[in-house]
Chain A
Amino acid sequence: MSLFNSLIPSRSREASRTATDNVGPSLKPVYEIKETDEAYGLTVFLPGVAKDGLELTIENQELRVVGRRTWTSPAGWTTVYRESADAPFVLVLTHDNAIDADKIAAELKDGVLRASLPKAEALKPRKITVS
């Protein structure tokens, strides 16, 4: 079965996607991407997520943000009404080699992740001189 999967390109791509299945039901966070000439700025709202609950990985042209809330209600609290969910936040962005993965800078503050994703050198606008 694995030989069969590796021969057919689309099935071998599926095999590497099992990372998503491990997370289970998830929420898509609110996010925003702004573009400048040098980089993409990514802002993701992850309320309740601290640094130890955050995973930011970039792999196979996919940028994946997983945020898990670490707070659980203390024993003795009864829930009267809930609007938020306990599911982890998962955001997957595909980029097609447009980002230079080594120069990504990210900061998590007050439940907001701000990441700067520098564009890969080949994609920056450049002038071509005509001789």
Chain B
Amino acid sequence: MNIVRYSYPYNGSLVPSTSRFYRSPWGAFESEMDRLFASALGELTSTPAGQFPVDLYEDKDNTYVRAELPGVSREDINVEMVDGYLTVSASRKTPAAEGQAEQSSSFSRSVRVPEEVQANLVSAAYENGVLTVTLPKREEAKPKKVTVAVK
């Protein structure tokens, strides 16, 4: 499996503009074409339905996983560690509006955790819609300096 870095579409125009007030005659056409492609290719260019963006970081003591899960309450988030895979699953309930039943959607993603992890010390925090899971590395996995005496 290949991990390909995903780049978000950005709202700049392809036509270079020389002054702030210049508006290329192609501007409207370009944005229409962007919209057309975005709606036609919607499923292919964005993360597949039921998934959320995940970032992986590490420092010498811990591995960190950050997941973007806006609008989910803490009880609905499940974080599980099985055999080097971290699974984050969440369900989001939309509050019932008049004439509509309560809808709920669920997401789940598994991430391979690169280093050996002390499974009992894993902690997670949810702030501003972003879940940060801290996975402390096992002692043997931490980078260590070994000085070798040369005879």
**Chain B neighbourhood of A71, CB < 8 A:** 128, 130
Report which B residues bind A (CB closer than 8 A).
Answer: 3, 5-12, 20-21, 23, 47, 53-60, 63-64, 66, 68-73, 97-98, 114, 126, 128-130
Separation in Å of the A23 CB from the closest CB of chain B?
A: 9
Separation in Å of the B9 CB from the closest CB of chain A?
A: 8
**Chain A neighbourhood of B128, CB < 8 A:** 47-50, 71, 110-111
Are A28 and B71 in contact, CB atoms less than 8 angstroms apart? no
Are B10 and A26 in contact, CB atoms less than 8 angstroms apart? yes
Checking A11, A47, A90 against B11 with a beta-carbon cut-off of 8 angstroms, the contacting residue is A90
Are A110 and B57 in contact, CB atoms less than 8 angstroms apart? no
- For residue B17, which residue of chain A has the nearest CB? A21
**Chain A neighbourhood of B47, CB < 8 A:** 83
Instruction: Answer whether residue A60 sits at the interface, using C-beta atoms and an 8 A cutoff.
Output: no
Report which A residues bind B (CB closer than 8 A).
Answer: 1, 5, 11, 14-15, 18, 21, 25-28, 34, 36, 43, 45-50, 71, 73-74, 76-85, 87, 90, 110-112
CB within 8 Å for A47 and B8 given contacts A78-B58, A79-B55, A84-B53 = no
The contact sample of 20 A-B pairs, CB cut-off 8 A, is: A5-B21, A11-B23, A25-B12, A43-B71, A46-B129, A48-B130, A49-B129, A77-B57, A78-B58, A79-B57, A80-B58, A81-B54, A81-B55, A83-B47, A83-B54, A83-B55, A87-B8, A90-B11, A111-B69, A112-B129
**Chain B neighbourhood of A81, CB < 8 A:** 3, 54-56
- For residue A81, which residue of chain B has the nearest CB? B56
**Chain A neighbourhood of B20, CB < 8 A:** 18, 21
Separation in Å of the A81 CB from the closest CB of chain B?
A: 4
Are A110 and B71 in contact, CB atoms less than 8 angstroms apart? yes
Are B71 and A112 in contact, CB atoms less than 8 angstroms apart? yes
CA distance A18 to B59 in the complex (A): 41
Are B57 and A47 in contact, CB atoms less than 8 angstroms apart? no
Are A45 and B54 in contact, CB atoms less than 8 angstroms apart? no
